């Protein structure tokens, strides 16, 4: 067994090689396992995923239309008390995000008070003037949020990113657990782990609670997918199936009699809640991108008339902006009246001349991100970038400083992965999934752990060769 | 009375697009399986004949599948190796068994939330198995293994459907698709061989080419049932009677129509109304009901089968129309 030897925080092993309390039960079990058997299990996992069809599509990759996200069979373990502390911070943050969205599209108190510069959302492509003055059913904007957390020490969790647009990955959280239970049932007999499998039911309940007023006691819920070629199609189908909801495409839907309706074998039937996995831009060709064939002409009129719930609300993407992110501590305090329980990662806004100067002077040390970017694209990781890449990035940065933020290169925590040679530490993050409805905020214990499979790599995105792990919150 | 108080005959109707996907998914699976049967019978036939007759047999396989034109564009002979490669896996053949299975799987993926995990896994694994088996041209020594695998994978999907799916309209569309395709395939096989059966009333009991008839039976997996019922006697009348009118044989036209009637009436019960599909079914049914095999031979077997295939197609398009398969 190897262990982390650097100053990075390893979640399983201390620097002296001893095992931290969260992993003790797992370590005991592991010591009893035959290494050859473990290697065999490792290849079993892949065929399990292939068979089940848990795949994602990679754009621009003809040969491998459907790929597997690598799964690592060492669980990422969090204790019950760590989780209780974390979930208080997450709940506070999501509450603030939802209030922030409402304020941004109504009185904009936060701007009037001078806590947030107006230009931040005026220049934001995700800002939708169509949403101004409109209140979505139940007052909920962020029905589903994914909060990306990183860890740097025993008690140091911080938020790296907020995903209020359409956070994906929850199907992996669920399937990773199923896979682990199928592969190592005895592990779950020995160690009590808080379950995640009721997420789809909680999602359905939470969405139903956000239905428009006229929807009746059993609102009809549908998941809108761009179709089978979308990279996250598996997840769309999976969630619809698990929720007992319809899986619809734009071509199934039409506005009839002031309602969004789906074409069934028995004629058109109304939909009350649309969990859309289609971006705002493609939602309504009459309001947004006129070339979109993924959306439903006229849905925004139905929405504004209060006859359908769209989850998440159009225009919530503003919150995903990394310049807005840098104001989250102020935002949380403004709407909750409390200090943020979960800190941000230090962030320099390059729009600010002093910060820009600092960033330019220290490019080799920093991670620089586009404010609207996602998926690990369009970013510079100073310490691992070549001189040429740094030079090219410097030019981009100088041309459009307001397009970028910079953060220190964090000593992200590591968690062991299984390799042929035994356990080896790799960097991880955690994306818990948070549901928001008028009935409250509901966080499924755990979330999706993404892991950088390459030694030393800090990039955990699946589109860039990252893998996933089952994430355990101990029932202790 | 608000919108929500309106009660519909069917509480949760499925999407028209999904009904279409399911219907065709089962048609593709059925066709892939029947194609494998036809190739197996053709191969057996070719083994027992001279070169010319073998090539004639392979040509008739292509005719039955409606693939002659496509094939002739790429080959100028009718050898087993070429025909099998074209029918099973050629990229030049959009109707190949492999692409049929792939389409079935694509439909299953698109309709993932309408089928059970067991059905999805059967189809997905079936597709993976066939991708593997048909990655390269199939050697003659492996042909039976490959054809067996195709039949088996399709059977597994059908079995999972039978054993795990709710008996709702999804199931009715699945079954209607299966039997519509099967009826069509049986009729086409008979039609290509009709010249063997047509004049044969007069030939009962004479020294006919029993090998050819045996071949017809084998391409429908009917040889055992037929032998059991007829104690080894081979004659045109009873073979045609068996394959067209015997309601006990699961690939006969009569059996397929009885299953289609059943599934269409399940749909009308669910929806609280009948549509043009039920009308088309009644019209097509009249071709079969109360007929004896002599009546059919009097009418002319070829004409009868052409009418039948046409009636079948009308039912399919009426189903698509009634149940809003496309907008």
Contact B324 A233 (CB under 8 A): no
| Shared domain check, B300 and B181 | yes
Q: Pick from A3, A30, A24: which is nearest to A15 by CA? A: A3
| Shared domain check, B152 and B181 | no
Contact B113 A247 (CB under 8 A): yes
| Shared domain check, A163 and A188 | yes
* A241: three-class secondary structure by DSSP: helix
A247 lies within 8 A of chain B by CB: yes
In this structure, is residue A249 part of a structural domain?
A: no
Interface probe for B, chosen from A245, A266, A268 (most Cβ of B below 10 Å), is A266
Residues in chain A closer than 8 A to B124 (CB atoms) = 51-53
Contact B324 A265 (CB under 8 A): yes
CB-defined contacts A:B, below 8 A: 74
Closest Cα in chain A to B319: A265
In this structure, is residue B114 part of a structural domain?
A: yes
Q: Pick from B23, B327, B17, B113: which is nearest to A222 by CA? A: B113
Lowest-pLDDT range of A31-45, A48-62, A179-193, A198-212:
A48-62
In this structure, is residue A164 part of a structural domain?
A: yes
Per-residue model confidence (pLDDT) at position A455: 87
Instruction: Pick the last residue of a domain from B113, B140, B165.
Output: B165
Per-residue model confidence (pLDDT) at position A457: 83
Instruction: Pick the last residue of a domain from A408, A437, A454.
Output: A408
In this structure, is residue B4 part of a structural domain?
A: no
Interface probe for B, chosen from A264, A268, A293 (most Cβ of B below 10 Å), is A264
In this complex, which of B4, B14, B106 lies closest to A214 when CB atoms are compared? B4
| Residue A375 pLDDT level (bands cut at 50, 70, 90) | low
Q: pLDDT, tens digit, for every residue of A178-227?
A: 999 999 999 999 999 999 999 999 999 999 999 999 898 899 999 999 99
The number of folded domains in chain B is 2
In this structure, is residue B6 part of a structural domain?
A: no
| Shared domain check, B245 and B140 | no
Chain A (276-335) residues lying within 8 Å, Cβ to Cβ, of chain B: none
Q: What percent of chain B has pLDDT over 90?
A: 77
Contact A269 B8 (CB under 8 A): yes
What does pTM read for this prediction? 0.90
Residue B217 has pLDDT above 80, yes or no: yes
Residue B203 has pLDDT above 60, yes or no: no
Q: pLDDT, tens digit, for every residue of A257-308?
A: 999 999 999 999 999 999 999 999 999 999 998 888 889 999 999 999 999 9
A52 lies within 8 A of chain B by CB: yes
| Residue B198 pLDDT level (bands cut at 50, 70, 90) | low
Mean pLDDT of chain B: 91
| Shared domain check, A101 and A49 | yes
| Shared domain check, A332 and A367 | no
Per-residue model confidence (pLDDT) at position A47: 79
Residue B300 has pLDDT above 90, yes or no: no
Residues in chain A closer than 8 A to B9 (CB atoms) = 266
Q: What separation, in Å, do the N-terminal and C-terminal C-alpha atoms of chain B show?
A: 29
Residue A90 has pLDDT above 50, yes or no: yes
Average pLDDT for B45-53: 87
A17 lies within 8 A of chain B by CB: no
| Shared domain check, B269 and B190 | yes
Nearest chain A Cα distance for residue B263, angstroms:
15
Contact B16 A264 (CB under 8 A): yes
Q: Which residues constitute the domain of residue A431?
A: 21-212+308-342+410-473
In this structure, is residue A246 part of a structural domain?
A: no
| Shared domain check, B196 and B134 | no
Q: pLDDT, tens digit, for every residue of B95-134?
A: 999 999 999 999 999 999 999 999 999 999 999 999 999 9
Contact B113 A216 (CB under 8 A): no
Per-residue model confidence (pLDDT) at position A58: 53
Could you give the angle at the alpha carbon of B108 between the alpha carbons of B107 and B112, nearest 5°? 120
Per-residue model confidence (pLDDT) at position B5: 46
CATH code for the domain of A364: 3.30.1490.270
In this complex, which of B106, B124, B271 lies closest to A266 when CB atoms are compared? B271
Backbone φ and ψ of A423, nearest 5°? -80, 145
Mean pLDDT of chain A: 91
Contact A51 B121 (CB under 8 A): yes
Per-residue model confidence (pLDDT) at position A374: 62
In this structure, is residue A314 part of a structural domain?
A: yes
Residue A245 has pLDDT above 80, yes or no: yes
| Shared domain check, B63 and B209 | no
Average pLDDT for A54-72: 66
Contact B15 A252 (CB under 8 A): yes
Average pLDDT for A109-134: 90
ipTM given for this complex: 0.87
Per-residue model confidence (pLDDT) at position A75: 97
Per-residue model confidence (pLDDT) at position A236: 95
Lowest-pLDDT range of A6-10, A366-370, B187-191:
A6-10
Give the distance from CA B307 to its chain's centroid.
Answer: 17
Q: Pick from B236, B241, B251, B242: which is nearest to B205 by CA? A: B236
In this complex, which of A51, A248, A266 lies closest to B13 when CB atoms are compared? A266
| Shared domain check, A446 and A338 | yes
Residue A18 has pLDDT above 60, yes or no: yes
Please list the residues that pair with A442 across neighbouring strands.
A435
Question: Which residues, other chains included, contact A234 with Cβ-Cβ below 8 Å and sequence gap of 6+?
Answer: A53, A54, A55, A56, A171
| Shared domain check, B130 and B40 | yes
A251 lies within 8 A of chain B by CB: yes
Cα–Cα distance measured from residue B251 to residue B218, given in angstroms and rounded to the nearest whole number:
12
| Shared domain check, B192 and B263 | yes
Lowest-pLDDT range of A213-222, A451-460, B110-119, B239-248:
A451-460
| Shared domain check, B190 and B128 | no
Per-residue model confidence (pLDDT) at position A7: 67
Cα–Cα distance measured from residue A338 to residue A332, given in angstroms and rounded to the nearest whole number:
7
Q: Contact at 8 Å (CB) between A172 and A468? A: yes
Average pLDDT for B243-266: 97
Residues in chain B closer than 8 A to A241 (CB atoms) = 112-113
Report the sign of the C-alpha dihedral through residues B98, B104, B107, B111, in that order.
Answer: negative
Cα–Cα distance measured from residue A417 to residue A451, given in angstroms and rounded to the nearest whole number:
9
Q: What percent of chain A has pLDDT over 70?
A: 95
Interface probe for A, chosen from B113, B267, B319 (most Cβ of A below 10 Å), is B113
| Number of other residues whose CB lies within 10 A of the CB of residue B306 | 14
Contact A215 B15 (CB under 8 A): no
Residue A71 has pLDDT above 60, yes or no: yes
Q: pLDDT, tens digit, for every residue of A392-428?
A: 999 999 999 988 999 998 889 999 999 988 899 999 9
* A292: three-class secondary structure by DSSP: coil
b or e along A201-230 (b: 16 or more beta carbons within 10 Å of the residue's beta carbon)? ebbbebbbbbbbeebeeebbbbbbbbebeb
In this structure, is residue B7 part of a structural domain?
A: no
Cα–Cα distance measured from residue A199 to residue B197, given in angstroms and rounded to the nearest whole number:
62
Instruction: Pick the last residue of a domain from B165, B189, B221.
Output: B165
Instruction: Pick the last residue of a domain from B165, B181, B203.
Output: B165
- Which H or E element spans position A93? helix A80-104
| Shared domain check, A141 and A86 | yes
In this complex, which of A227, A249, A264 lies closest to B14 when CB atoms are compared? A264
Q: Which residues constitute the domain of residue B210?
A: 167-327
Per-residue model confidence (pLDDT) at position B62: 95
| Shared domain check, A140 and A26 | yes
DSSP alpha helices (H): ranges in A75-193? 80-104, 109-112, 119-122, 170-183, 185-190
């Amino acid at each position: 067994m190897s262990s982390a030897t650097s100053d990075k925080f390893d979640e399983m092993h201390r620097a002296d090689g001893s095992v931290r309390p969260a992993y003790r039960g797992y370590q005991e079990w592991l010591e009893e396992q035959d290494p050859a058997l473990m290697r065999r299990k490792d290849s079993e996992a892949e065929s399990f995923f292939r068979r089940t069809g848990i795949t994602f599509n990679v754009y621009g990759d003809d040969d491998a239309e459907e790929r597997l996200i690598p799964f690592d069979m060492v669980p990422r373990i969090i204790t019950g008390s760590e989780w209780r502390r974390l979930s208080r911070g997450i709940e506070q943050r999501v509450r603030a995000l939802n209030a922030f969205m409402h304020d941004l599209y109504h009185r904009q108190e936060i701007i009037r008070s001078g806590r947030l510069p107006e230009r931040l959302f005026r220049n934001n492509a995700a800002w939708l003037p169509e949403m101004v003055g409109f209140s979505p059913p139940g007052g909920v904007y962020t029905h589903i949020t994914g909060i990306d957390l990183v860890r740097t020490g025993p008690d140091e969790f911080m938020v790296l990113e907020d995903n209020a647009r359409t956070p994906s990955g929850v199907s992996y959280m669920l399937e990773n657990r199923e896979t682990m239970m199928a592969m190592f049932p005895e592990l779950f007999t020995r160690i009590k782990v808080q379950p995640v499998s009721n997420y789809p039911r909680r999602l359905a309940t939470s969405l139903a609670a956000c239905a428009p007023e006229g929807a009746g006691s059993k609102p009809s819920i549908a998941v809108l997918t761009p179709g089978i070629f979308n990279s996250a199609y598996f997840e769309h189908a999976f969630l619809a199936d698990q929720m007992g909801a319809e899986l619809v495409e734009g071509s199934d839907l039409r506005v009839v009699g002031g309602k969004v309706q789906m074409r069934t074998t028995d004629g058109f039937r109304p939909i009350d809640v649309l969990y859309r996995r289609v971006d705002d831009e493609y939602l309504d060709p009459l309001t947004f991108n006129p070339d979109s064939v993924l959306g439903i002409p006229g849905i925004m009129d139905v929405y504004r008339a209060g006859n359908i719930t769209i989850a998440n609300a159009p225009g919530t993407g503003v919150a995903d902006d990394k310049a807005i992110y840098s104001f989250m501590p102020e935002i949380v305090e403004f709407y909750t009246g409390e200090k943020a329980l979960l800190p941000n990662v230090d962030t320099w806004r390059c729009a600010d001349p002093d910060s820009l100067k600092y960033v330019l002077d220290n490019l080799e040390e920093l991670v620089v991100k586009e404010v609207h970017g996602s998926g690990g694209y369009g970013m510079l990781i100073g310490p691992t970038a070549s001189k040429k890449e740094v030079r090219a990035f410097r030019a981009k940065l100088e041309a459009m400083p307001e397009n970028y933020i910079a953060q220190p290169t964090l000593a992200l925590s590591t968690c062991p992965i299984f390799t042929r040679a035994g356990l080896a530490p790799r960097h991880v993050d955690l994306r818990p999934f948070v549901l928001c409805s008028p009935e409250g905020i509901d966080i499924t214990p755990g979330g999706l752990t993404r892991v950088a499979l390459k030694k030393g790599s800090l990039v955990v995105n699946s589109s860039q060769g990252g893998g996933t792990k089952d994430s355990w919150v101990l029932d202790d | 009375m608000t919108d929500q108080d309106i009660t519909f005959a069917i509480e949760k109707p499925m999407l028209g697009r999904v009904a279409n996907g399911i219907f065709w998914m089962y048609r593709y699976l059925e066709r892939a399986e029947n194609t494998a049967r036809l190739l197996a019978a053709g191969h057996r036939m070719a083994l027992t004949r001279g070169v010319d007759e073998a090539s004639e047999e392979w040509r008739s396989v292509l005719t039955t599948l409606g693939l002659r034109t496509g094939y002739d564009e790429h080959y100028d002979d009718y050898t087993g190796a070429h025909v099998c490669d074209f029918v099973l896996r050629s990229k030049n053949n959009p109707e190949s068994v492999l692409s049929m299975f792939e389409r079935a799987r694509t439909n299953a993926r698109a309709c993932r939330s309408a089928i059970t995990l067991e059905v999805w896994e059967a189809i997905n694994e079936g597709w993976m198995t066939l991708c593997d088996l048909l990655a390269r041209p199939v050697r003659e020594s492996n042909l039976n293994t490959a054809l067996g695998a195709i039949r088996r994978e399709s059977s597994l999907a059908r079995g999972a459907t039978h054993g795990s799916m709710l008996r709702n309209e999804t199931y009715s569309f699945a079954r209607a698709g299966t039997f519509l395709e099967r009826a069509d395939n049986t009729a086409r096989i008979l039609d290509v061989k009709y010249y063997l059966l047509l004049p044969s009333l007069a030939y009962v009991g004479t020294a006919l080419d029993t090998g050819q008839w045996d071949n017809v039976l084998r391409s429908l997996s009917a040889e055992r049932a037929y032998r059991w019922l007829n104690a080894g006697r081979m004659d045109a009348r009873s073979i045609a009677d068996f394959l067209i009118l015997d309601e006990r044989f699961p690939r006969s036209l009569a059996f397929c129509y009885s299953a289609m009637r059943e599934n269409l009436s399940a749909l009308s019960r669910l929806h609280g109304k009948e549509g043009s599909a039920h009308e088309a079914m009644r019209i097509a049914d009249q071709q079969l009901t109360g007929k004896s095999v002599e009546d059919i031979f009097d009418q002319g077997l070829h004409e009868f089968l052409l009418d039948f295939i046409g009636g079948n197609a009308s039912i399919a398009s009426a189903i698509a129309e009634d149940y809003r398969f496309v907008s």
